[in-house]
């Protein structure tokens, strides 16, 4: 990986945004740049990146429109969560040999001043778990479900993209909480995984089933909590099947992220009035101050075997970024999708 000499100098490769994608990103939207490893200033440390997180939100960061973060600029290193090892340090709290997690970007090395960086505690979990179940994914599931879903035992909880990184954790948290859980996933294999490995009570293959009939079959008293990762037609149909005082949590809308024209809003929104329901969006970053508590609870559940942390870890090089990123939109991942560049 890179070309690091004994004196700390050398070069490394990063992935920059070359142009804004129209619709689904293509390889030419990125450029590979080889640059010098910078020297460290006071209070800085150098991270050799081992694993890069692939997140649907990264697609949103490519569009030049107002959002919760500024868009990635043309020519800027692609923003991404990552983990890695501190290999040199002028920082009082981060030492050589520490493994850390932060928004280090799609590159082989990163210089950091420690802002937003978490030291990995191997007693809690692995490096990959700090990107998945104990990282942003797990935090999203935990705060989205508990704080906004306000679940009660016996609730019927429906989760879209249930075999994915966030959805797989939400469903398991719902089971821990005594809920009846129904997951939506694409294809029979993912649906079998959702029931047999994740412990959902039922799965709906949204690509092949009649959604309305499936909801009526698996949620006969209506949906109490709908944790939505996909938006679009699935959200619209779920709105038609709400129980009284249902909570709809808008976590994401991956079905719309590559849309080239304006997507219509859900026509069934008046169900919110009829069912006295609430539909609320949330952003995991608003809970940053509470991450350490959530991380400990999730780690305890994982240790106790109450949750599993599914991961699709793809070994490769930094140059494989585009191909691996695109798996998210093809549904070619189960659990947390990670590019592992530690072998290169």
Ligand X SMILES: NC(=O)c1ccc[n+]([C@@H]2O[C@H](COP(=O)([O-])OP(=O)(O)OC[C@H]3O[C@@H](n4cnc5c(N)ncnc54)[C@H](OP(=O)(O)O)[C@@H]3O)[C@@H](O)[C@H]2O)c1
What residues make contact with ligand X under the rule CB under 6 A?
55-57, 136-137, 140, 161, 163-167, 185-186, 190, 229-230, 251-255, 282-284, 328-329, 331, 333, 337
What's the half-sphere exposure (Cβ side, CA atoms, 13 Å) at 59? Answer: 21
The nearest distance, CB 125 to ligand X, in angstroms, is 17
267 contacts 244 by C-beta, under 8 angstroms: no
Of 310, 290, 291, the residue nearest 302 (C-alpha): 310
The nearest distance, CB 230 to ligand X, in angstroms, is 4
Q: Which two tokens stand for residue 289?
A: 């101050």
CA angle 87, 89, 91 (to 5 degrees): 145
**211 or 328: whose CB is closer to ligand X?**
328
The nearest distance, CB 42 to ligand X, in angstroms, is 34
The nearest distance, CB 178 to ligand X, in angstroms, is 23
The nearest distance, CB 140 to ligand X, in angstroms, is 4
**37 or 254: whose CB is closer to ligand X?**
254
Give the span between the Cα atoms of 13 and 100, in whole angstroms: 20
**190 or 218: whose CB is closer to ligand X?**
190
**140 or 214: whose CB is closer to ligand X?**
140
Q: How many CB atoms lie within 10 A of CB 114?
A: 17
The nearest distance, CB 38 to ligand X, in angstroms, is 30
**17 or 211: whose CB is closer to ligand X?**
211
Of 165, 41, 172, 47, the residue nearest 104 (C-alpha): 47
The nearest distance, CB 330 to ligand X, in angstroms, is 7
> Which residues make Cβ contacts (< 8 Å) with residue 53, sequence separation at least 6?
80, 81, 82, 131, 132, 135, 136, 336, 337, 338
49 contacts 83 by C-beta, under 8 angstroms: yes
**2 or 167: whose CB is closer to ligand X?**
167
Of 275, 270, 284, 230, the residue nearest 252 (C-alpha): 230
Give the span between the Cα atoms of 333 and 313, in whole angstroms: 9
């Amino acid at each position: 990986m890179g070309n690091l000499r004994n004196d700390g100098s050398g070069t490394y490769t990063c992935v920059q945004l070359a142009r804004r994608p129209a619709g689904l990103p293509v390889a030419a939207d990125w450029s590979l740049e080889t640059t010098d490893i910078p020297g460290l200033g006071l209070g800085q440390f150098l991270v050799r990146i081992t694993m890069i997180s692939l997140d649907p939100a990264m697609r949103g960061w490519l569009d030049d429109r107002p959002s919760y973060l500024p868009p990635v600029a043309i020519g800027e290193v692609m923003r991404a969560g990552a983990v890695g090892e501190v290999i040199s340090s002028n920082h009082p709290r981060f030492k050589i040999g520490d493994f850390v997690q932060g928004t280090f970007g799609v590159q082989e090395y990163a210089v950091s001043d420690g802002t937003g960086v978490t030291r990995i505690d191997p007693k809690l979990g692995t490096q990959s778990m700090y990107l998945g179940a104990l990282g942003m994914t797990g935090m999203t599931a935990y705060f989205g479900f508990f704080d906004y879903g306000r679940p009660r035992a016996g609730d019927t909880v429906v989760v879209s993209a249930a075999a994915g990184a966030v959805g797989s954790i939400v469903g398991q948290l719902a089971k821990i909480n005594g809920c009846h859980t129904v997951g939506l996933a694409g294809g029979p294999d993912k649906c079998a995984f959702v029931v047999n490995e994740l412990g959902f009570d039922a799965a709906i293959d949204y690509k092949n089933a009649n959604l309305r009939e499936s909801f009526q079959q698996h949620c006969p008293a209506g949906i109490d909590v709908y944790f939505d990762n996909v938006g679009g037609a699935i959200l619209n149909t779920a709105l038609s099947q709400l129980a009284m005082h249902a909570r709809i949590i808008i976590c994401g809308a991956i079905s719309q992220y590559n849309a080239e024209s304006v997507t219509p809003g859900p026509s069934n929104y008046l169900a919110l009035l009829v069912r006295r329901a609430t539909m609320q969006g949330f952003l995991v970053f608003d809970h940053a101050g509470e991450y350490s508590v959530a991380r400990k609870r999730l780690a305890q559940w994982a240790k106790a075997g109450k949750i599993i942390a599914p991961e699709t870890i793809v070994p490769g090089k930094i140059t494989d970024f585009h191909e691996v990123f695109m798996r998210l939109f093809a549904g070619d991942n189960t659990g947390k999708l990670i590019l592992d560049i530690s072998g290169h």
